[in-house]
Amino acid sequence: MSNAASPKTIETNTFNLMAFLTKHATLVALLALIAFNVVFTKHFISIQTLNVNLTQVATIVIVGVGMTLVIATGGIDLSVGSMMAISGAIAPLIFLGTAVHISEIHLAVAVGMIVAVLAAGAFGWFNGWLITRFRIQPIIATLVLFIAGRGIAQVSTNGNLQPFKLGEFQWIGLGRWFGVPVQVIIMVVLVAIAAWVLKRSLFGRQILAIGGNERAARLAGIPVARVKRWVYCISGLCSGIAGLVVIAINSSSDANLVGLGMELDAIAAVAVGGTLLSGGRATVTGTLIGALIIQLVRYTLLANGVNDDVAKLVKAALIVLAVWLQRHGRS
Amino acid sequence: MKKSSLLSALSSQGVLIALALLILFGWLRYEHFLGLFNISSVLRYNSMFALVALGMCFVIMAGGIDLSVGSTAALGSVVAALLSPHGMLIGTLGGVAAGLCIGILNGLVIVRMRILPFIATLATMLAANGSALLLAQDQSVSVSYDGTFVDLGQGDIYNIPIPALIAVAAYIIGSIVLNYTGTGRAVLAIGGNEDASRLMGLPVDRVKFLVYALSGALSGLAGVILASQFGAGQPIEGVGWELFAIASVVVGGTLLTGGVGSVGATLAGVLLLGLIFNVLNFENGLGWISLSAYWQSVIRGLFLLGVVILQSRLSSKQSAA
């Protein structure tokens, strides 16, 4: 597939070169940040620092993977935070036995996690359905679930905090596998799969073709509606997983707070990572690097005694600067 | 042009009809729904959202989006509260100026650096939030009760809440600007087709800059009212305001693609979404059913869903005809 001499090949090659360059630019920025920290921040080179930064960034990246695919089609998903809240609300309802009673705890946890993630995926699919069936702009279509989704999560738990202490479940947020936090492994696996899909698979090519020129993609016989629905469904699934990670870390599920503001963090990571916001060019590893840069800048500032509020100002400038540099890199 | 004005007329009447039905429902069902106290508290509270939505309406009509309005309002409230000991005028001007600064920043980044409005205003949202927290030193800033500053949010003139009067005045001016000035027509033209507007010689960059500046200033003003109404500048308030404002604008029939819109219908959209909460409270008061406050976001979401599906139906009929 990748070597097929289709008319698109030339275009794809030039795009790849650009993607290669910008990817390098973000990578260089990341390396520079790390180098700065090695020199100036005390105790920077330690497993603990690495784990702190990676665990903080994991949920953003997990959501960012789905967001990257959505943005690659030229869309946007504002509802990711709400879908995290839904998944975070549903899982404890099942494994704590509030909604249904399953006596075997491992089974209850498994059912809870699967149902929660699938529910988030279903809501994501609903987003895609709205967008393709009614031709509603993605920003508006996902705004519906942004507003209603958190409400659904709150209503289903009556707004109550659901506290728990359950090793069988919390491995997803607190566990280690060969010393690496489990959610970091999930993050890496998801990034690897999505990067492969985007680069090598037919589905990935279709996503980029739709984002590049939807009309042309449709005329070329690409099942635009189906691809889009899947992409939003995947975004929902990723959000569902992230929701589970967050409640596992917190040892409780608070529908009012889980995933709050996540849409903006994820979009910022995608944009800083070098994915075009208008669609057609996307890099999942870029999103990972983008999220790491944002996190590391914040960490660097905080570790060197700069106020968290100032760190926000720097983050804002960083987003604008990164996007601006990418524009210049292209033109 | 004819097509789009017909469409906007249909959608804007839709929101008015829905609003009228909701008010009728409330009037028939609840004893004190149209009582002075209820009307005045609904208007007082929603006037902040109305101001933010007015700015958003202009931005969206010009084909953009402004995500920074909520934290800009929070920044405005903090600045106003800090300046409130110097009197109402200084406090108000300070809050509006703070909002204007963020709006100008938005305009510059979008027009000069050519960065997508979504990303640019996402960044300024963070910047405004950081600045508000810095100025407030991470806590809410109580306003001075010595002067007249609190009257702005809490006072009445002839039983009408002052914030509501401010909002209505802003909407009247906004409506006149949109319908009867060159700048207003240019906003719609640019939202309809930016390239064509540029070729026609319209000052595209200046108008885009102006709408973001306006949105910032109005958000700042909303922040001033927030501070004065609740007696404190609140640096972490305003979360989600931007999406509420966008929802009001869309419910009001303004197309998110730009080029079509109505200021009055946006006001109706704000009132409609605001009244849903009010009706929910009254319904709970009757004691027949008990819906928690959390239902309001579900119902608002469903409302938005209905409106956008209706709009898409209308516009596909329009383009088919």
Query: Quick one: pLDDT band at residue A239, thresholds 50, 70, 90?
Result: very high
Cβ–Cβ under 8 Å, residues A177 and A111: no
pLDDT class of A27 with cuts at 50, 70, 90: confident
Q: Where are the domains of chain A?
A: 45-260
Q: What is the DSSP letter of A282?
A: -
Residue A331 has pLDDT above 60, yes or no: no
Instruction: Say yes or no to pLDDT of A6 above 50.
Output: no
**Which residues of A are less than 8 Å from B125 in CB distance?**
264, 316
ipTM above 0.85, yes or no: no
Q: What are the sequence ranges of the domains in chain B?
A: 2-316
CATH class of B2-316: mainly alpha
Q: Residue B125 above 80 pLDDT?
A: yes
| pLDDT mean over A4-18 | 51
Overall pTM surpassing 0.90 (yes/no): no
Element (H, E) at B157: strand B156-157
For the segment A8-34, the average pLDDT, to the nearest whole number, is: 65
d(C-alpha A58, C-alpha A272), whole Å = 16
- Which tokens is A292 given? 């790491």
Least confident of A135-149, A317-331, B240-254: A317-331
Highest mean pLDDT among A24-28, A117-121, B10-14, B141-145: A117-121
Chain A neighbors of B295, CB-CB under 8 A: 151, 155
Separation of alpha carbons B288 and B298, rounded Å: 20
- Could you read off the pLDDT of A154-195 as tens digits, one per residue? 988 888 888 888 888 888 888 888 888 899 999 999 999 999
User: Who wins on pLDDT, B178 or A37?
Assistant: B178
Quick one: what percent of chain B has pLDDT higher than 90?
27
CA B60 to chain centre: 11
B123, B138, B301: residue with CB nearest A319? B123
Kindly indicate the confidence band of residue B71, based on its pLDDT and cuts at 50, 70 and 90: very high
Work out the mean pLDDT of chain B and round it to a whole number. Answer: 84
Per-residue pLDDT for B4 more than 70? no
Q: In angstroms, what separates the C-alpha of B147 from chain A's closest C-alpha? A: 31
Between A29 and B58, the more confident residue is B58
Residues in chain B with CB shorter than 8 Å from the CB of A127 are none
Distance separating alpha carbons of residues A56 and B306, to the nearest angstrom:
38
Which residue's structure tokens are 């608070």?
A254
CB contact under 8 A, A155 and B119: no
Q: Does the pLDDT of residue A7 top 50, yes or no?
A: no
B239–A327 C-beta distance less than 8 A: no
Residue A8: the pLDDT is: 45
Dist. CA A252–CA A59, nearest whole Å: 16
Percent of chain A scoring above 70 in pLDDT: 92
Chain A (43-62) residues lying within 8 Å, Cβ to Cβ, of chain B: none
Beta carbons of B122 and A145 less than 8 Å apart? no
pLDDT tens-digit series, residues B33-53: 888 888 888 888 899 999 999
pLDDT at B220 over 70: yes
**DSSP assignment string, B80-145:** HHHHGGG-HHHHHHHHHHHHHHHHHHHHHHHHTS---HHHHHHHHHHHHHHHHHHHHTTS-EEPPS
Note the pLDDT tens digit of each residue in A32-64: 888 888 888 777 778 788 888 888 899 999 999
Region B150-169 average pLDDT: 84
Tokens of B295: 């239902």
Q: Give the model confidence (pLDDT) of A75-111 as tens digits.
A: 999 999 999 999 999 999 988 877 777 778 888 888 9
